[in-house]
Amino acid sequence: MPIYTALQAADPVAYNALMGEMKRQSDGVELIASENYISPAVMEMMGTVFNNKYSEGYPGKRYYGGQEFTDIVESLAIERAKQLFGCQHANVQPHAGCPANVAMYFALMEPGECVLGMDLGHGGHLSHGHPVTYLTKIFKFVRYKMKDVETGELDYDEMRRVALQEKPKIILAGFSAYPREVNYAKMKAIADEVGAYTVADMAHIAGLIAGKQLRNPFEDGFDVITTTTHKTLRGPRGGMIMCREAELGKKIDKMVFPGFQGGPIMQMVAAKAVAFGEALRPEFQDYAKQIIKNSKHLAKFFMDHGAKLVTNGTDNHLMLIDCVKSWNLPGGEVETLLDRVGITLNKNMIPDDTRKPMDPSGVRLGTPAITTRGMKEVDMDILGGFILKAIEKRSDDSAITSLHGEVIEWCRRFPVPGIAA
């Protein structure tokens, strides 16, 4: 365990909460598809004196003095991001994924203009125009869906029909709960017909693209990629916007700062540089490959045992299980039950769910975090077995308690970076 002596002395209550969280992460199985464990090197950079510095502006063009070292780390992050994703421009300052998307919308559109994005009930994201967000008061959002939820193929014909009718300024690919690969070339062809920008919000799969296991939308001519940096990309919590061509990057830069944000969170920018350096190493491609191998293996395990998966499988790091069809249980009950045995995932709507978001039919789970811990296909069988056993024994308190013990003992064999010695 790392030692936090200053924190322990200064604030025992906060220190104890940190110790509790470290134990929780170490003794539990993390299946939330958007979570991961950063490396000790990334974690070290996050807790540094770069926190103390204001750096409004960009490398070489700042509004405050004393930037010789902030310029080094931000330039490093930018150059490494460009190399990772094969593009001409990167802005590494967005504080998170939603701010990255907001800055992107305002950079590319005027109020009242339209975005054609993935239906939220079919896997899209809140920041892609959910009615509860203020974005919908400023821009118009129209939708495409899957053509067939059994295969997960997107409905490109309907996408084209809506695009011709609505003339969107942006055609947006990307999702937070969709297990299949996207045909970016088809989307680009539709966008070209109507003169729209093509943007891919790759937050969930950025690490799988950087690790060369999924298609890179820039290779199909997409204009912009937005992403978070802390999911499959395994960096610090934050966001990023990249442009295939440098010219468009100027608009993005102006909107991120001064248009939308103030000073960058420089210790996170520095930690992004470290994480991107890790992602450029060949081992990261092995990691990305193993994430997908584990995901496919676990999905097959569930299906072989009679579970119903949305789209009947996965191409990426995540899967959605229809718990009502699989086990006659709502997703929320499965989430709560698995919490009791130290396995963390989240309840999730399934396509065209008739239940409500706080009480949906499904669960979403993914393999990025457990793959970082070193788990392989053989471990997916054990993990799947734990999950099925918890469901089978859900009314038997002592069986659930003893299963929790088994899960702890098993997952302690896979050290969490930054926690285990």
Q: Is 4 a catalytic residue?
A: no
Q: Is 237 a catalytic residue?
A: yes
Shortest-Cβ-distance residue relative to ligand DSN: 34
What is the nearest approach in angstroms of ligand DSN to the Cβ of residue 366? 9
Which tokens belong to 335?
Answer: 């989430």
Tell me the CA distances in angstroms from 208 to 100, 191, 418, one per residue in order. 20, 25, 22
176 binds ligand DSN (CB under 6 A): yes
Asked if residues 144 and 119 have their Cβ atoms less than 8 Å apart, the reply is yes
Site for ligand DSN (CB under 6 A): how many residues?
A: 3
Residue 34 vs 326, nearer CB to ligand DSN: 34
Q: Which helix (H) or strand (E) holds 320?
A: strand 318-322
Residue 55 vs 232, nearer CB to ligand DSN: 232
Q: Which of 4, 15, 54, 156 is catalytic?
A: 54
Residue 401 CA to residue 420 CA, distance in Å, equals 24
How do strand 318-322 and strand 308-309 relate by DSSP bridges? antiparallel
What is the nearest approach in angstroms of ligand DSN to the Cβ of residue 115? 17
Q: Which of 74, 201, 315, 379 is catalytic?
A: 201
311 binds ligand DSN (CB under 6 A): no
Looking only at residues 54 through 83 of this chain, which bind ligand DSN when binding is defined by CB under 6 A?
none
Which tokens belong to 86?
Answer: 């094969």
What is the nearest approach in angstroms of ligand DSN to the Cβ of residue 285? 23
97 binds ligand DSN (CB under 6 A): yes
Contact residue for ligand DSN among 28, 30, 34, 368 (CB under 6 A): 34
What is the nearest approach in angstroms of ligand DSN to the Cβ of residue 223? 22
Q: Is 56 a catalytic residue?
A: yes
Asked if residues 256 and 341 have their Cβ atoms less than 8 Å apart, the reply is no
DSSP class of 349: P
> What DSSP letter does each residue of 155-207 carry, written as one string?
-HHHHHHHHHHH--SEEEEE-SS--S---HHHHHHHHHHHT-EEEEE-TTTHH
What is the nearest approach in angstroms of ligand DSN to the Cβ of residue 69? 31
Q: Is 71 a catalytic residue?
A: no
372 binds ligand DSN (CB under 6 A): no
For the chain, report the end-to-end CA distance as a whole number of angstroms.
Answer: 5
Residue 234 CA to residue 203 CA, distance in Å, equals 11
Q: Is 167 a catalytic residue?
A: no
Residue 55 vs 101, nearer CB to ligand DSN: 101
User: Using N-to-C axis directions, what is the helix angle for 184-194 and 156-166, rounded to 10°?
Assistant: 20
Q: Which of 35, 44, 56, 71 is catalytic?
A: 56
Q: Tokens 């203009």 belong to which residue? A: 113
Residue 176 vs 371, nearer CB to ligand DSN: 176
Q: Is 62 a catalytic residue?
A: no
367 binds ligand DSN (CB under 6 A): no
Asked if residues 224 and 300 have their Cβ atoms less than 8 Å apart, the reply is no
User: Rule CB under 6 A: which residues touch ligand DSN?
Assistant: 34, 97, 176
Positions marked active-site: 54, 56, 201, 228, 231, 237
